[in-house]
Structures are given as C-alpha cells and as structure tokens.
C-alpha cells in the first residue's frame, strides 16, 4: 500500500542533456540553463509547488549511451541480462514500470529487461499518453511511467522542441491529484553544475542534514565528475514539502533546493517508497 494513500501512480520526466545548451552555443554560461532559455511554464510551476534538489551519478565501468537512464532506473549500466532483471526485482519487487523514450540506446537497454517501452510519438500524443496514464487508462497497467527525452543532434532547436514537449506533457497532469510527478534534467557531459556549486547558501545550511550522496549500500562510491549534477523537482499535493525555488533554475535548485544532493542509486527507491513498494532508504 502506498506510503500516502492519495498516490495511485507516478510519472517521471527525464530530460537527458536538456539542462544546458550545447558547448558551442554562445549562450552557454554558468548558471544558464536551457530551461531558462525556453518557455517551460509547467515545469516552472512544478518547481514552485514542490521540492527540488540535485542528483549525482556514480562512475560506471561500462561506456553506454543508456548510462544516465540506467542509473536513474536504479540498477546501473554495469548490470546486464538476468543480473539486471534480478536486481530490478530485488530492489522494487512487483512494481510495474513502463517507458516512453526517443533514444535507441535506452530502447535497446530496456528490451533486455522486459520493460514495456514505446518510441516517442509526438508532443501532442505524449501529452495524451501521460493523461491516460494519470487516469489509469493505460494497458498494460503500470505503477510508474518514465518519459525519457534525449537530443539525438547537437542543435539547440531540437533540444528546445524536446524540452517544450516535456513541458506540455507535464502541464497535462500537473493537477492530477493521485499522480506523483518528478522532473529530472541532466546537462551535457562536462557542463557546469558540479557538487561544489550545488551547495546551500550559508544562511540555509541548518535546514539540510549532512549529505550522504556518495554512500551506496554502506560503502563510499566514486561519483562521476564528468557528468554534471542533474536538477530534479518533485511534486504531489500531500506527499512533498515545499522549498523556495520558484522556477527551473540551475542556480536556485543548487542553492535553495530542499532535497540537497542524492545519488542516482537512491532516486527510484524514493519514488517506489511513495508507491508502497520499498521501505524508506534513509532517515
């Protein structure tokens, strides 16, 4: 049973590489995010209504285009085949997952896990898919849907179109009372949001306990410093608290976000806890 009975399902929107404009674009400067360049009123509203924070990624042994997604899924790219399937079941039990993605690497990765996956259709169709899911009108029935978008080119135009498609999809369900919503945006490799830059303002340090984002299963793990921290926002009217972040801003989330920095390994268990599939991973 969900930890909050008012939660029926969850949608996670993942914009991989959409938090920053590409290197070669003059607009790229510290603290400037692609979401701030584009119009994303629904994502901004979700940030304002909910709580935000950053996500760090573990250094992986394998090189794969599905690395970021696999870590957010909670199993990592270093686990393959039956080992990955077993780990998924071990961590999340019978939690039912489905995915929409535009990325062939993620599609291939999911095919080995027997997770239902469909290719990104269009912005309008994606919004309809999300609305149907929030209303429990999907087949097969699922507990959580991951919507994953990743630029397949380096053009800003493509990135902005994908970002606005995500925003339209968020707008469709932002008021859905029984759906837990999360938005995660990662930067391109080597972009500016580092662990050092994602520290709270001095006046707010007392609001956040000592961080343990480098701890995985009781052991210190190596954080991948070639990947920027992801910016994340979470919202449900009764299951999330509220911080002072007013929009999807790298600077605001890094300095005043209420959730601090967590390891990607803990991201999915936190949502699975809300859905009643796993115990709380930490205090």
User: For tokens 């399902």, what's the residue?
Assistant: 9
Predicted TM-score (pTM) of the model is 0.86
Which pLDDT value is given to residue 242?
93
Rounded Cα–Cα distance for residues 250 and 261 (Å):
13
Specify the pLDDT at position 190: 46
Residue 172 lies in a domain: yes
Number of domains in the chain: 1
Candidates 261, 281, 273; CA nearest to 208 is: 261
Closest CA to 33 of 264, 236, 232: 232
- CB atoms closer than 10 angstroms to residue 152: 12
DSSP secondary structure code for residue 185 in this structure: E
Region of 3 (left: φ > 0; alpha: ψ -120 to 50; beta: rest) is alpha
Provide the total of helices (H) and of strands (E) in the chain, helices listed first.
9, 10
Query: Does residue 281 lie within any of the structural domains?
Result: no
Domain hosting 114: range is 9-274
Among 201, 244, 275, 279, CA closest to 7:
275
Q: What is the pLDDT of residue 257?
A: 93
Q: Which residue has the higher pLDDT, 211 or 153?
A: 153
- Give the pair of three-digit tokens for residue 26: 């003059």
- For residue 2, being part of any structural domain is answered with no
Q: Which of 90, 83, 139 is nearest to 116 (CA)?
A: 139
**What residue ranges in the chain does DSSP mark as E strands?**
9-15, 51-56, 97-101, 117-119, 144-149, 179-185, 215-216, 219-220, 230-235, 261-263
Closest CA to 169 of 8, 14, 5, 6: 14
Say if 217 falls within a structural domain: yes
Neighbours of 271 (CB within 10 A): 23
Asked, for residue 282, whether it belongs to a domain, the answer is no
Give the least confident one: 19-28, 41-50, 212-221, 248-257: 19-28
Residue 235 lies in a domain: yes
pLDDT of residue 90: 93
Tens of pLDDT along 39-92? 899 999 999 999 999 999 998 776 678 999 999 999 987 766 678 889 999 999
What is the per-residue pLDDT across 95-144, written as a single tens digit (0 to 9) for each? 999 999 999 999 999 988 889 999 999 999 999 999 999 998 766 689 99
Could you tell me the CATH number of the domain that includes residue 197? Answer: 3.40.720.10
Q: Supply the angle between the helices 81-92 and 267-274 in degrees, to the nearest 10.
A: 40
Residue 104 lies in a domain: yes
Q: Is 67 exposed, middle or buried (0-12, 13-18, 19+ CB in 10 A)?
A: buried
pLDDT of 148 strictly over 90: yes
Tell me, what's the pLDDT at 28? 47
Q: Which of the pair, 88 or 249, is modelled with greater confidence? A: 88
Most confident of 37-41, 56-60, 225-229, 234-238: 234-238
Instruction: Let me know if residue 4 belongs to a domain.
Output: no
As a whole number of Å, the CA-based R_g of the chain is 17
Q: How far apart are CA 182 and CA 170, in angstroms?
A: 9
């Amino acid at each position: 049973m969900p930890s909050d009975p008012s939660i029926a399902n969850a949608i996670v929107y993942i914009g991989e590489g959409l938090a920053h404009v590409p290197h070669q674009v003059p607009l790229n400067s510290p603290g400037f995010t692609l979401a701030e360049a584009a119009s994303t009123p629904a994502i901004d509203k979700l940030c304002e209504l909910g709580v935000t924070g950053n996500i760090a990624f573990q250094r992986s042994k394998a090189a794969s285009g599905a690395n970021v997604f696999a870590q957010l899924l909670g199993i990592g790219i270093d686990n393959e085949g039956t080992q990955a399937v077993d780990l998924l079941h071990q961590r999340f039990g019978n939690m039912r997952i489905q995915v929409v993605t535009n990325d062939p690497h993620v599609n291939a990765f999911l095919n080995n896990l027997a997770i239902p996956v469909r290719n990104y259709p269009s912005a309008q169709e994606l919004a309809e898919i999300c609305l149907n899911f929030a209303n429990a009108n999907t087949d097969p029935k699922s507990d959580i849907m991951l919507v994953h978008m990743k630029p397949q080119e380096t053009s800003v135009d493509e990135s902005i179109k994908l970002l606005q498609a995500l925003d339209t999809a968020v707008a469709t369900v932002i008021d859905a009372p029984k759906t837990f919503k999360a938005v995660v945006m990662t930067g391109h490799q080597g972009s500016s949001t580092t662990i050092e830059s994602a520290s709270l303002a001095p006046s707010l340090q007392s609001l956040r306990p000592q961080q343990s984002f480098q701890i995985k299963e009781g052991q210190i793990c190596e954080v991948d410093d070639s990947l920027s921290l992801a910016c994340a926002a979470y919202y449900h009217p009764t299951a999330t608290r509220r911080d002072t972040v007013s929009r999807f801003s790298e600077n605001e989330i890094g300095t005043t976000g209420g959730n601090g920095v967590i390891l990607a390994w803990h991201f999915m268990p936190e949502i699975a806890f809300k859905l009643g599939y796993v115990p709380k991973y930490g205090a």
